[in-house]
Structure 1
Amino acid sequence: MRATALATALAVLCVGSSGAHAYDVPGWSGDSRVRQVVYRQDEVVRVIAQRGFATHIALDPAEHILVVAPGDRDGWQVVANRGDHDVYLKPQLAAHDTNLEIRTDRHSYSFDLVVLPLRARFGNDDEMYRITFVYPDVEAAKTKTTDAAALVRERLDQPPRVRNSAYSMQVMPHSEDIAPTAAWDDGRFTYIRIPNNRRIPAIFRVADDDSESVVDRHMEDDVIVVHEVARRFVLRLGKEVVGLWNDAFDVDGVPPADGTTVSGVKRVLRSDGHE
């Protein structure tokens, strides 16, 4: 394996904290040769390797290596590429215990490199083939994001707030099949409930001059959600006609101060990754 040097790979880095100490990494997944480390900035990770075998240090895929500095550049083969997140180690015949410093665009890492004796048994419980990291700050951020998304989803799934239920209707002859069982609004949208076993009529907004215009709407279970509030609507299906009056119409309505009528939810518009 040929070592690929970084531009500043042989720079000497200092251990971040005088109180830092090397600690052994427990095995996981039932195989002691594969280890998982909880990343802590002020701690040193002990890596135990065997001559003739490679060890893979896998950093966070989202970070990029800037500097790799081995203490014993002649006894240890270190392969890493600037911008990658993987480092490969291999002790040579003349290798001795040393250290390794890695700096990325997100974290700094300190390692104790320990080489097993020449007569070490193959497949022993000490040598390490792969080391990965878990990052508490990243996991906490993921949990926070997940919790926030769940809270928004919960609030969005809540039934619409009833601001006005003062609606009356006039059902024309033979039009009972399209007559709503309830109507209300939240100051911005109008909600018209028609049981699922009934046919869904077209809905028109009636202007002051009695002209009619089609409204935007969508269905939520057995409720027609009309994307506006008006003084009067008319429901039509063939020859069936039902008039619907908003007896407490508020011309100002309820403006969505946060871009949404759902309490506790703010709509944010993003463009090219910016708010």
Structure 2
Amino acid sequence: MMKKLFIATCLLLPGLVYSAATPLPSGFDARMQTVSYNGANTTVIRSKTGFLTSVVFDEGEAVISAKAGFPAGWEITTDDNVVYINPRPVVQEQEGNEGEKLKKIFQPTEKEWDTNLFVRTTKRIYSLDLILLSEEKQAQPAYVVQFRYPSEIAKKNAEEVRLAKEKQKKLRQKKLISESFEKADAPKNWNYYMRVNEKYDSRRIAPDFAYDNGIFTFLGFNSGKVFPAPFAVRDGQEQTLAFNVETKGKYKIMVIHNVNDKFVLRYGNSVVGVVNKTFGKVLTDQRNTSSPAVERVEVNND
């Protein structure tokens, strides 16, 4: 039984090894064909004497070289992302009986003209089988063979889906932030103060106001201020923060996506510390909050 299985497998192997991709005809004209690109496979191109076959590659892909195994019998030319294939007679010079030069012409013949073509482009490599069809046969040659790239299309579609999801996420995030602005009954804590390093002109990155609603922290900057990068201070370490920017009147408002007891704002050497004096306390009435004017303490770090 094992011997029979081994023999059957051996008989199948040649078919597997030499399997090539055959372009599919269009639904309108069988001579207009398409084939999916597979870098590990060879594509069959069927041509005929007196006919030109065009092989079209991807947009933005330029042919660098195209080499045939039987260059004397095939005219191969290129233009941008297209390779033109045309079988041609072979002309051979011979010496006559009296020493004269004679030219013998060998017309393209089926099977004898079959060869391969290797194409290298700016994006990929292609292995092609050039098959010559007999003039006597009714089989039609390929006029155009257009390569398709399903893996590239799948990758592009996946990227479009990812970008769409990212856009939806940003829209939801923006909506959530807008709703947090507009919630009249949301508790607001204005009890913040700042430590401003008087060196390096740190006042230019100091917010004009700061508050939170228990979910987000809002830092407002007038148009004359430089917009800094925010960091949270946790366990003595600075951590980067996610934030959005809203424009309200003359202010650009940095909306930090959490509430913390300490923030650090940085721009170059300029640094400002923002401290939430009511962090961890529950505010149920906006009238119990302190003034929106942010207390500032200037620090000289010599």
- For normalisation by structure 1, the TM-score amounts to 0.53
Given candidates 216, 221, 230, the residue that maps to 1:187 is 216
**Closer, same or farther in 2 for the Cα pair 1:226/1:72, shift >3 Å?**
same
Q: Deviations over 1:2-59 (max 9, x none)?
A: xxxxxxxxxxxxxxxx935223221124321111111111211111112111111111
Secondary structure of 2:165's partner?
Answer: helix
Report deviation, 1:254.
10
The match for 1:104 is 121
Which residue identity is paired with 2:121? T
How many angstroms apart in 2 are the aligned matches of 1:253 and 1:132?
59
Report deviation, 1:188.
4.8
Given candidates 118, 121, 137, the residue that maps to 2:135 is 118
Report deviation, 1:98.
1.5
Given candidates 41, 44, 47, the residue that maps to 2:45 is 47
* Residue 90 (1) aligns with residue 86 (2): yes
* Residue 166 (1) aligns with residue 187 (2): yes
Aligned length: 177
Q: Deviations over 1:108-164 (max 9, x none)?
A: 21111112212344xx5x311111112233123202211110111110111225499
The match for 2:58 is 60
| Greater helix proportion | 2
Contact 2:31 2:144 in 1 (8 A): yes
Report deviation, 1:105.
3.0
The match for 1:38 is 36
How many angstroms apart in 2 are the aligned matches of 1:28 and 1:186?
59
How many angstroms apart in 1 are the aligned matches of 2:132 and 2:49?
7
State the Cα RMSD in Å: 3.9
Which of the two has higher C-alpha Rg?
A: 2
How many angstroms apart in 2 are the aligned matches of 1:30 and 1:151?
38
How many angstroms apart in 1 are the aligned matches of 2:46 and 2:218?
66
Contact 1:188 1:254 in 2 (8 A): no
Contact 1:188 1:253 in 2 (8 A): no
Contact 1:48 1:128 in 2 (8 A): yes
Which residue identity is paired with 1:46? V
The match for 1:227 is 253
Which residue identity is paired with 1:21? S
Which residue identity is paired with 1:90? N
Which residue identity is paired with 1:227? I
Which residue identity is paired with 1:153? K
Q: Which blocks of at least 5 consecutive residues in structure 2 are unaligned? A: 1-15, 90-106, 190-211, 223-245, 266-302
**Closer, same or farther in 2 for the Cα pair 1:185/1:38, shift >3 Å?**
farther
- For normalisation by structure 2, the TM-score amounts to 0.48
* Residue 143 (1) aligns with residue 157 (2): yes
Q: Which blocks of at least 5 consecutive residues in structure 1 are unaligned? A: 1-17, 169-182, 191-203, 205-215, 220-224, 230-248, 256-275
Q: Deviations over 1:85-119 (max 9, x none)?
A: 21001112433222111122322211111122123
Report deviation, 1:218.
5.9
Report deviation, 1:189.
4.9
Contact 1:54 1:90 in 2 (8 A): yes
Q: Deviations over 1:179-224 (max 9, x none)?
A: xxxx96863559xxxxxxxxxxxxx9xxxxxxxxxxx7269xxxxx
